[in-house]
Amino acid sequence: MIVFNSLKFFRLLKADILLALILMLTPMDSGLLWLVNFDERLGADYAPQNLAHINGYRIRSETKEAYERMLKDMEKVGISVNLQSAYRPYKYQQALLSRKISNLQALGYSKSEAQLLATKTVAPPGASEHQLGLAIDISVDGKLDASFGNTEAGTWIANNCHHYGFIVRYPKDKTKITKIMYEPWHLRYVGLPHSAYMYEKNMCLEEYIIHVQEAKLLMIWIDDGNYYKVSYSAKAPDAAEALDMSSFERGGAYIITEIGEYLK
């Protein structure tokens, strides 16, 4: 639940002083909000560090932890899903696309037709979020298609994954912006409070980044007992100010997230 309330903000000033004392941490770009798409591509040499292992796949550790927590809660309501994909290196994505193009050519498409058609369903290398180690594909029966969105698991995920820091990255009503077809099975970990805000405001990642930039400061209260201040800066912020910052256009701009507890 997100509440915007200026009265609360003033009550929080005392907490802010405490916050400033606590946040004597060296800020590090978490990379959680990195935008990766057809226009914002990762280099062939980018690979996340310290990947954790899960069911034969590799994944960033915060994504694994959030996924496992979500899985447990799904089990409690009798829903089970399988992991179908997680971290995919640049070269693997390249191979996926080449295979798709060959398959289409085998079906009778010309090389240029096949290349165009293939990128509708398989992102070119560098344009896939799977290279970040923050994206997962899940299914109930091994199939990754739009029908997943109508299953009990797909519905649960669409309505609840934001509590765990995930977003359905390619929603049905955002295909014009994401340039990717509806993929109810593909989740991207962005962390809280971003996932909760995007869910509540029905924004995809592209829209959220522009929104933060335009709003300059968002105050977000969520039901994990914390409030967050999300702001935007064109240059690296002062070390004492940022608990978490995420860049987009690598090295370009920063989204800064600060956290504090509610004053009860």
Which parts of this chain interact with Zn ion (CB under 5 A)?
A: 137, 186
Do 133 and 60 touch, CB atoms closer than 8 A? yes
> Minimum Å distance from CB 78 to Zn ion?
25
Q: In terms of CB distance, is 40 or 224 closer to Zn ion?
A: 40
Q: Which residue is nearest to Zn ion (CB)?
A: 186
Q: How far is the CB of 171 from Zn ion (least distance, A)?
A: 14
Q: Give 126: exposed, middle or buried? Use CB within 10 Å, 0-12, 13-18, 19+.
A: middle
CB 247 within 8 A of CB 29: yes
**Contact indicator for 63, 134 with CB cutoff of 8 Å:** yes
Task: Determine the distance from the C-alpha atom of residue 21 to the mean position of all C-alpha atoms in its chain, rounded to a whole number.
Answer: 30
What tokens appear for 99 in the block?
Answer: 């295979």
In this complex, which beta carbon is closest to Zn ion, that of residue 186 or of residue 229?
A: 186
- C-alpha span between 117 and 177 (Å, rounded): 18
| Residue whose tokens read 């800064």 | 256
Q: Which is nearer to Zn ion, 148 or 221 (CB)?
A: 148
Least distance to Zn ion, CB of residue 186, Å: 4
**Least CB distance from residue 86 to Zn ion, whole Å?**
9
Is 87 strand, coil or helix? Answer: coil
Q: Would you state the structure tokens that stand for residue 118, as one six-digit string? A: 């293939």
Which of residues 162 and 186 has its CB atom nearest to Zn ion in the complex? 186
Closer residue to Zn ion (CB): 139 or 246: 139
Active-site residue 206, yes or no? no
Tokens encoding 168: 């359905």
Rounded CA separation 113/138 (Å): 29
CB of 84 to Zn ion, least distance (A): 8
Q: Is 221 left (phi over 0), alpha (psi -120 to 50) or beta?
A: beta
| Catalytic hit among 40, 129, 183, 258 | 183
By annotation, the residues acting in catalysis are 183
